[in-house]
């Protein structure tokens, strides 16, 4: 399994390196704008760093789905599937590498935002406020707001990982039916929308049965959403691996 994870990482490190380069450029823009009190550079740095955070998590996840589609629809798939590994291991390695990359990237950008915000306050003479803010986030002055921020961030990351697992299933179903024929990518996207729509409908029904408002926010609803997405991600993973083992020919 470890070798498979390393193999998956080697296939994706270039795209991650490119993301880091863009992040470094925009971070330098932010730091320069802060030090030299240049509002234009500071504003652009903040805007581009925020955009990079969103795009990075999106690109890492979608690129993982793209790699699976390529593995299943091109000749290079024989290299992977002729190894003495089950479909559960192969798909599991892809999921672990992709989910791990998203978690690490999410944590990296959260920490970067905390450091940048603290640096900005300190540069503006609000050193004490910056230290208090950093202590609050790190737990010295733990608060409900910090807990809520952590829970919402974790929930968003888990939702995105679940979405990627659904994307894996859609690609595998499409490959098992079309065997890499024309428009297989479009069919995969349609299958993804259908599966995701059905799961979200089930999620809404469960929320109503439990008594939570579908559009409201509460800690209980967030925890329930986490459990729901984790459980369904596991179910979808095993379903996708079973189809790879029994219905897919590469």
What pLDDT, in 10s, does the model give residues 25-51? 999 999 999 999 888 999 999 999 999
What tokens appear for 158 in the block? 């888990």
On whether the CB atoms of residues 26 and 49 are closer than 8 A, the answer is yes
Percent of the chain whose pLDDT exceeds 90: 33
User: Which has more pLDDT, 210 or 233?
Assistant: 233
Which one, of 115, 97, 134, lies nearest residue 5 by Cα? Answer: 97
Domain count, the chain: 1
What's the pTM value of the predicted model, to 2 decimals? 0.81
Neighbour-count burial of 174, counting CB atoms closer than 10 A to its CB (0-12 exposed, 13-18 middle, 19+ buried) = buried
pLDDT of residue 144: 46
pLDDT at residue 155, as a whole number: 81
Alpha carbons within 13 A on the beta-carbon side of 202: 10
**How confident is the model at residue 142, as a pLDDT?**
47
Can you give the residue range of the structural domain that contains 82? 2-246
Evaluate if residue 176 carries a pLDDT over 60. yes
What's the pLDDT score for residue 72?
Answer: 82
Q: What value does the mean pLDDT of the chain take?
A: 82
Question: Per residue in 177-210, pLDDT tens?
Answer: 876 566 777 888 898 999 989 988 888 888 778 7
Residue 3 pLDDT level (bands cut at 50, 70, 90) = confident
125: left (phi over 0), alpha (psi -120 to 50) or beta: left
Q: What pLDDT is recorded for position 127?
A: 60
**107-151 pLDDT, tens per residue?**
899 889 888 988 888 787 666 665 666 566 555 444 445 666 677
pLDDT band at 81 (very low <50, low <70, confident <90, very high): low
226 token code pair: 């986490």
pLDDT attached to residue 60 = 93
The reported pLDDT for the residue numbered 231 is 92
């Amino acid at each position: 399994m470890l070798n498979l994870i390393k193999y998956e990482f080697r296939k994706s490190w270039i795209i991650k390196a490119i993301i880091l380069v863009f992040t470094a450029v925009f971070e330098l823009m932010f730091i320069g704008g802060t030090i030299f009190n240049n509002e234009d550079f500071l504003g652009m740095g903040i805007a581009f760093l925020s955009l990079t955070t969103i795009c990075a998590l999106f690109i890492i996840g979608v690129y993982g789905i793209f790699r699976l589609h390529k593995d299943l629809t091109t000749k290079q798939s024989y290299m992977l599937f002729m190894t003495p590994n089950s479909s559960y291991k192969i798909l599991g390695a892809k999921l672990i590498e992709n989910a791990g990359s998203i978690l690490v990237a999410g944590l990296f950008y959260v920490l970067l935002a905390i450091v940048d915000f603290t640096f900005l306050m300190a540069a503006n003479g609000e050193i004490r406020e910056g230290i208090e803010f950093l202590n609050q986030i790190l737990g010295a002055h733990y608060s409900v707001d910090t807990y809520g921020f952590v829970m919402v961030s974790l929930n968003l990351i888990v939702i995105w990982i679940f979405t990627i697992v659904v994307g894996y299933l859609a690609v595998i179903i499409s490959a098992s039916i079309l065997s890499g024929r024309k428009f297989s990518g479009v069919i995969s996207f349609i299958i993804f929308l259908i599966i995701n729509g059905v799961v979200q409908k089930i999620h809404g029904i469960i929320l109503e049965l439990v008594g939570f408002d579908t559009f409201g926010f509460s800690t209980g609803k967030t925890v329930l959403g986490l459990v729901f997405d984790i459980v369904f991600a596991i179910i979808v993973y095993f379903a996708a691996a079973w189809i790879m083992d029994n219905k897919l020919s590469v």
